Amino acid sequence: MKTWKKVAIGVGAVALLGAIVGFTVYQSHKNVVAVQTGKAQRMDLLAVVSASGEIKPKTYVNIGANAFGKITKLYVKEGDRVKRGQMLVQLENVQSEADMDAMQASLDAARTDAVAAEAALNTSAADLNHAKSDAERSDLDWSRAQGLYKDALIAKSDFDMQRANHQAAVAGLAQAQARVAQAKAQKESADRRITQADANLTHASDVLKKTTYQAPFDGVITNLPVREGETVVVGIQNSPGSTLMTLADLSVITAEVKVDETDIVNVQMGQPAQVTIDAMPKKVFKAVVTQIGDNAIVRSTGVSTSQQLSTSQEAKDFKVVVTLLDPPDDLRPGLSTTAKITTATRGNALSIPIQALTVRTQADLAPKNEKGAVQAAAPQAEAAKDKQEIQGVFVLRNHKAEFVAVDTGIAGTTDIEVLKGLKEGDEIVTGSYKVLRTLKPGSSVKVDNSAPKKEEEEST
């Protein structure tokens, strides 16, 4: 055989062997899935609920107009610190002062009438006592005259005179009693006029007081929307009255935030929080939860569900108030803020990345026969069980991804606590997201923890 034929046969044999090896390698890698992995490890976890809102003082009041009138004097300006009882605003009070003076004069006159009525009652009482004495003496004289006349010891004219005197005394007593009753009625009427005049004076005094406004507590004037010379009005139905100013006690500052309904169950009184303020981006303030709202608030309208006439499936929030422990002096109400409330802590907890968690159904985990079908056809009663979802992770064992069900605890920002199913050091599949969605239990995998390409590079 010629040399070139031998070389050709050798080259062909090598090429065939290479093809066989290449095909074998190709088939062995054909069903291998590239995955990213991480390890179950112990760390300190913090469960945090984040919510946004605004800064508000714990105690504040909008001082509204209680009377109609023109502002004649403003004693404060916005930003002033005031003390309890300090004068704030004076409204026009000419008519109210005149009404009060008139009511005071009426009260004084009623009291004078009451004194006169009491004196008249005393006089009538004295006259009644005098009439009683006259009636008693006349009664004795009349009795004596009746005896003497019966014995024919006095003349008929004397007898008639005694009878007339007796009747006059009885009539005088009745008259005196009537005058006493009249004096008592006049005294009661005078007393009631005093009560009426006193009530009118109280009304006039209240109207006059409503023309002046004093600070109900120590604080700062945070809003002053009116000026001297403006006319203010009281509120009526469906029409709010004029707001004169807002007084706030800035010694206790709170952040009022809205927590999503899915997180509110984890928030409790006394939990610590960290508050950041948009106007102070590089500062973090410590705070504590001091109030949790009971009624849900519809996110789109800001109206409490208790005030709605119909049910709504819209997203809802709950109001939570956290009190800042050491607020700065330059903090002002209305500033936008974010509160991060720590709802739970775990020290040295076995944790895995949150993205490693996935869900599979019982049917996905059931063993299959050579034809790829479930070994036993589940009866109808088992159909629902096959659809039951199981939470777990894929653990790398012998270059294969095995699904392991896990029980989880609190969730941090990027990691979640594992209570059952894993041990420290287990290598688990963490990505990619697309792979985790489609990865089947028992699949062959290869680890590729290189940085993923950016979307820009992939698109080019």
User: Which residues of the chain fall short of a pLDDT of 70?
Assistant: 1-31, 307-312, 367-386, 451-460
Q: What is the pLDDT, as a whole number, of residue 10?
A: 62
Q: What is the pLDDT, as a whole number, of residue 33?
A: 85
**Final residue in a domain of this structure, among 164, 191, 210:** 210
Domain-located, residue 223 = no
Domain-located, residue 332 = yes
Q: What is the pLDDT, as a whole number, of residue 225?
A: 93
Query: Looking at the structure, do residues 305 and 363 belong to the same domain, yes or no?
Result: no
Domain-located, residue 178 = yes
Query: Looking at the structure, do residues 174 and 259 belong to the same domain, yes or no?
Result: no
Domain-located, residue 76 = no
Q: In sequence order, which residues have a C-beta less than 8 Å from that of residue 450 and are 6 or more positions away?
A: none
User: How many residues would you count in the chain?
Assistant: 460
Domain-located, residue 138 = yes
| pLDDT tens per residue, range 239-269 | 788 899 999 998 889 999 999 998 999 999 9
Query: Looking at the structure, do residues 362 and 326 belong to the same domain, yes or no?
Result: no
- Kindly report the CATH number assigned to the domain that includes residue 342: 2.40.30.170
> Do the beta carbons of residue 255 and residue 337 sit within 8 Å?
yes
198: burial class by Cβ within 10 Å (0-12, 13-18, 19+)?
middle
- The pTM of this model reads 0.64
Task: Report the number of distinct structural domains present in the chain.
Answer: 3
Query: Looking at the structure, do residues 365 and 317 belong to the same domain, yes or no?
Result: no
Domain-located, residue 459 = no
Q: What is the pLDDT, as a whole number, of residue 303?
A: 77
**Final residue in a domain of this structure, among 301, 325, 348:** 348
Query: Looking at the structure, do residues 313 and 417 belong to the same domain, yes or no?
Result: no
Domain-located, residue 394 = yes
Cα–Cα distance for residue pair 176/224, rounded to 1 Å: 69
Secondary structure (3-state) at 429: strand
Domain-located, residue 16 = no
Q: What is the pLDDT, as a whole number, of residue 72?
A: 94
Q: What is the dihedral of CA 185, 186, 191, 195, to 10 degrees?
A: 100
Domain that holds residue 354: 31-43+349-453
